[in-house]
Structure 1
Amino acid sequence: MSTHAADSTIKIEPRSEADPLRIGTPLPLGQVSSKSAYIHPSSLAKAPTHAKIYFQDDCLNHRFIRSRDTSSIVERPERLRAVKIGLAAAIARIEEAEGVLKPSDTDISVEDELAAALGNMDIATSDGGLIRARSISVTRSTATVDLLDNAAVKYVHGDIDGDVYLQTLKAWARDSEDNITKKGSEMPEGMPPLDLYLCPSSIDAIQGAIGAVCQAVDAVIASTGTNPSIVATEPRRAFVAVRPPGHHCGEDTPSGFCFVNNVAIGAVHAHLKYGIQRVVILDIDLHHGNGTQSIVWQINEETYRQTLESEQSPSEPNAPPSTRGPQIFYGSIHDVLSFPCEDGKMSFVQAASTSINGPHGQYIENIHLQTYSSEVYFWEVLYKEQYSTLLTRASQFLDSTGGPGDDVMVFISCGFDACEHEYSSMSRHNRKVPTSFYHRFTLDTCTFADVYARGHVVSVLEGGYSDRALSSGAMAHICGLIGDTVQVDERWWDLENLIKLEKATKARKFGHPSLGDTDPEPWLTRTSELLSRLDVYRTPPQHSRNWVPPTSRTLRERKKLSRNSSTPDVASKPGKDTQVPVPVSSTSSSTSVSVPESEAVNPLTAKKLPRVILHVRRPDGTS
């Protein structure tokens, strides 16, 4: 792909047979105005692709109850509202691009919106006609699983000695209030106090998150099945907006807000239920998914052992074919200076820097985020020559194990905390990406999946803590999932439009948004209408009890960033309209400030980094 400047015309070059994906080709934003629309080549020839968004309201029940001071808690229920703002804006823009946004939408009053919201609170299995866009739908999932009675969960988090970790996790949550009253914390001593927290309803959130992920897997695989009526209604691509996140959790080691590994469980569910043998997991969170990589390594190791044994042991006549575990490619783009590597511990840094493709049956690729001096440099150098290598390696993995097939599925561990709009206290090292990264990388991943996996893509929310990072990243990401059906304009999430979006969706006293301007643009009015129906979160009442005083723990001192950083001003110097974290206040109970994962430590004790110990085995009763 190449561009020429004078008239900002985008010239689309045909793909070569040697590189059908055109991974890492020059992108137009580097050579034309940043205000120009970006048209991906796949949008010129593709048939409409249906994408579905999944919510699970049980995920809102995971809350910090240790004290009334939540100012240092960034993994909070309100994160999902910020995501819904971005998704509602994306849907409004997509409806506008498809020509189905009605002029009458601009006449909707706040009272009408609230009445509509009350009448649509029970959206469970469909969007009830709420979404007009042809290429996207929304499901409020009610799916859930039992941690102690689910084959995929036990495959990933089971233990040689039984379901010790899963039973312990349920006990931690069940006894959380009592333990806070008795000991001041619901988590065992030695676990980072602000990284991990539980309440009695956290298990509902965890089980609901897994249920929604597995439901999305079921739907995506059904979209290319043999039943025409099902195929017509199910999505080939899905985004599952759930919490708590999962990619830091190993087999029996919770870490970094994560208690179970949502994506790994989804991949194993696809393997056990549908025979998916080859899985690609692409992790674009700011932080390395150490838990996912450890689980993938152990699964691949077991599959490799099974392969060697079957090759060396002749099979008996008429013996059934031997069963093998899945082969998984794990690829991550992350900041190696941030959690879990921020303390420089060798095992974490080594794991986050490992790249191995084939030997010992392992397929791991880790790429470190870099600072960038301009968006031209980001797209033409970093994205083209480094970050897109993730998809190149994934292609090599699938080509070496049989090529495209029905047994392939693609997952995205989708964190938005590398976004240019993330809090500077979370993204301290200026290893950021432009918001449009979430659009273009998603487009490229979908093109990759179309070639290798019949288009099957399931994306699952991981990190992202600033409201602006979450809303803009989610907006760009969902436009990537359906972007080959409509012409997407990357100006939709530029700073000017994000500020308009925030004003239009700012929560007011009685829960409904303010439309801000007296004559808002149609897409903003439609966004507010959609949000009023999608966002049902209300802060649950707190039980009356003796609260633990606010923590006396302080943050470690950090060296100031060098003034000659090569990161552009837009990513490192907030202007007056740029979102910045709120100062920590012991009296704040509704506003969260961004504190990096694992920053809060007890000054009297050395911080203990969790080990990820894996003993993967197939659960009893599975083949």
Structure 2
Amino acid sequence: MDAGTAPGQPAGSLTAVFTQKSCVQHRYIRSRDTSCIVERPERLRAVHVGLAAAVARLEESFAAPRDSNAKAEPKEERSDASVDILNNAAVKFIHGDIEGDVYLENLKRWTAESRAKIDKGESEIPEGLPQGDLYLCPESLLAIQGALGTVCQAVDTVVGSIPDTGISRAFVALRPPGHHCGEDSPSGFCFVNNVAVAAAHAHLKHGINRIVVLDIDLHHGNGTQSIVWQINEESYRKALEQEAGAPLDKPGLQVYYGSIHDVLSYPCEDGKLELVQAASVSIHGPHGQHIENVHLRPYSSEKQFHDELYTGPYSKLLSKAAEFLDETGGPGDDCGFDASEHEYPSMSRHQRHVPTSFYRRFANDTRRLAERYARGRLISVLEGGYSDRALTSGAMAHLIGLAEAEGAAVDESWWSLDNLTELEQATKKRRGGRVSQPTAPAPWLARTVEVFATIDSSHLVPPTTSTRNAVPPSSRVLRERKTPHLPSKQKSSTLPKRSDAKRTGVKGDLGVEVMVKQEEPEGDELSDDASTSSLSSLSDALDDDQAPKRLPRVILKLGPRPADADVS
């Protein structure tokens, strides 16, 4: 979808949005009761609402004329991006095994047998894996392979297309998520690690040897960090062997992993030593590792959040990334959004969340980092996020942060509670998948509904056919596990009851991963400036106050429209 451009906008400044129709087919089929299933196909609908609103607001902020060059005109690419998990080098690089692709073969078999097992009163998830955090259906394989294909397509587009189309940034809206999945350890709704596979694809196909991963999900990306550790360990071993006289080989992949998360939440909520340690380690250089973990902290106001936390401890995520890039000469980034202030109280039980404006500002600062080190190349991949309001507001703020040009008139009240309520009413789902048509809506709302109608296919989710409640609920879930230990006088004021959530609108959980990637620099392409110690100084170094005001462009890369689907 092209959200418009202004005269003189340079090449390599467009933002593409990728969607994948098959992702809605991964669904819970153990019973018709999905009231406790937060990782659901409808998550993508809420994200699409936010993306449509971002396009409408960006157009409005520049008062873009409605012509073919400026209107956000969605276009279908008729792409059915998918990979065969048993026959793809990048997938095997991350999830394969020296003795054979045991995990991948098992995953394919689990999906094929899922309905038959449920019909027999058994669980489709093998014993020993978390029953409450994982579910499968026969179509899950299509969703998993489609998600992997789409994120790899985004890499191909961003890395290879700048001279042709100018696309240097991408947002990839897909499910199931991936950052809790290690090499062969699915958990937390994750069966494959989408971002790790994308990084491997960039390395194997495009020769990218350094990547930065920024994970801003409420939950620590233990799977991604584990994979990154293994990759760095292998590359470090090869480098030592070559120093000792082994034959020279191609450089191994080096990855920086930076995460900001709540150390009290999943997967650390039970206080297991190895998980808490992994979510707290910071190491830069020794043993070839580049890891930074920052714990979320409570705050009393949005001003305090940005003045003290964002420019203080949270800034280390980007300043350490800059150090990594300076020291190794390379590229990369990955980021997530499920610490939203609008998340379900049951998901953010410890009040470790962030204001929605964080997603826009972090995307902006990450974009500047990419412009400095990676010729602007940046990929953001959806991870967590469960409340519709968190998904919508986070996706909206994040896409605006990715796409806005310097000098853009962005108003952070766009995602105020009142505006979000209006947006939800305007896009409320009706019978047949249609959205409501408010009487005399504001221009931005009318435009949002128009854009949303062209990109969303969540109403095409197949119905659940099983009526059997075959698998007993597990105590090991990502929600409603424990009451935080708070003084009694605080409990009523800081923790809304679940029954109050719908009335107050306190809900939401969005997760995204972003990757900044570039090919190896040539000559003096990298800056010699010392890396900054805080986010504010980093932003100052990257800002250009004299930059002309430009209208950003957002391009939606859509999957194929089903020939027999009613999408009216």
Q: CA deviation at 1:350?
A: 0.1
What is the distance in 1 between the residues matched to 2:123 and 2:377? 42
Higher relative contact order (CA 8 A, sep 6+): 2
Q: 2:559 maps to which residue?
A: none
Q: CA deviation at 1:543?
A: 6.8
User: What are the superposed Cα offsets for residues 253-281 of structure 1, whole Å, 9 maximum, x if unpaired?
Assistant: 00100000000000110000111011000
Q: Which residue, out of 53, 57, 71, partners 2:17?
A: 53
* 2:111 is aligned with 1:173: yes
What is the distance in 1 between the residues matched to 2:373 and 2:469? 53
Q: How does 1:104-503 map to 2 (within 5 A)?
A: 132-133=71-72, 141-224=79-162, 228=163, 230=164, 233-313=165-245, 315=247, 321-402=248-329, 408-414=330-336, 416-484=337-405, 486-503=408-425
Q: CA deviation at 1:298?
A: 0.4
Q: 1:588 maps to which residue?
A: none
- What is the identity, as a one-letter code, of the residue corresponding to 1:471? T
Distance 1:280 1:577, change over 3 A: same
Q: 1:534 maps to which residue?
A: 455
What is the distance in 2 between the residues matched to 1:390 and 1:549? 44
Which stretches of structure 1, 4 residues or longer, exceed 6 Å deviation after superposition?
A: 563-576
Q: CA deviation at 1:150?
A: 0.3
Q: CA deviation at 1:184?
A: 2.5
- What is the identity, as a one-letter code, of the residue corresponding to 2:71? R
User: What are the superposed Cα offsets for residues 543-583 of structure 1, whole Å, 9 maximum, x if unpaired?
Assistant: 755622574556645246446769997999978853256xx
Q: CA deviation at 1:314?
A: 6.1
**Higher CA-based Rg:** 1
Distance 1:274 1:419, change over 3 A: same
What is the distance in 2 between the residues matched to 1:85 and 1:549? 34
User: What are the superposed Cα offsets for residues 65-113 of structure 1, whole Å, 9 maximum, x if unpaired?
Assistant: 111111111100000000000000000111112323659xxxxxxxxxx
What is the distance in 1 between the residues matched to 2:492 and 2:181? 31
Give structure 1 stretches of 5+ with no counterpart: 1-42, 104-128, 316-320, 403-407, 582-592, 595-623
Distance 1:421 1:572, change over 3 A: farther
559-568 or 421-430, which deviates more: 559-568
- What is the identity, as a one-letter code, of the residue corresponding to 1:272? L
Q: CA deviation at 1:137?
A: 7.9
Q: How does 1:459-608 map to 2 (within 5 A)?
A: 459-484=380-405, 486-516=408-438, 518-538=439-459, 540-542=461-463, 547-549=468-470, 551=472, 553=474, 556-559=481-484, 561-562=486-487, 578-580=504-506
Q: CA deviation at 1:334?
A: 0.2
Maintained 8 Å contact 2:118/2:470: no
When the two structures are aligned, how many residues end up with a matched partner? 496
Q: CA deviation at 1:341?
A: 0.2
Give structure 2 stretches of 5+ with no counterpart: 1-5, 510-568
Maintained 8 Å contact 1:195/1:256: yes
Distance 1:572 1:391, change over 3 A: farther
Given the two structures, how large is their TM-score scaled by the length of structure 2?
0.82
For the aligned residues, what is the CA RMSD?
A: 2.8
Distance 1:147 1:401, change over 3 A: same
- What is the identity, as a one-letter code, of the residue corresponding to 1:177? R
What is the distance in 2 between the residues matched to 1:567 and 1:161? 55
What is the distance in 1 between the residues matched to 2:41 and 2:426? 21
What is the distance in 2 between the residues matched to 1:72 and 1:528? 29
What is the distance in 2 between the residues matched to 1:378 and 1:498? 21
Q: CA deviation at 1:189?
A: 1.5
Given the two structures, how large is their TM-score scaled by the length of structure 1?
0.75
Q: Secondary structure at the residue paired with 2:458? A: coil
% identical equivalent positions: 56
Q: Which residue, out of 8, 18, 33, partners 1:69?
A: 33
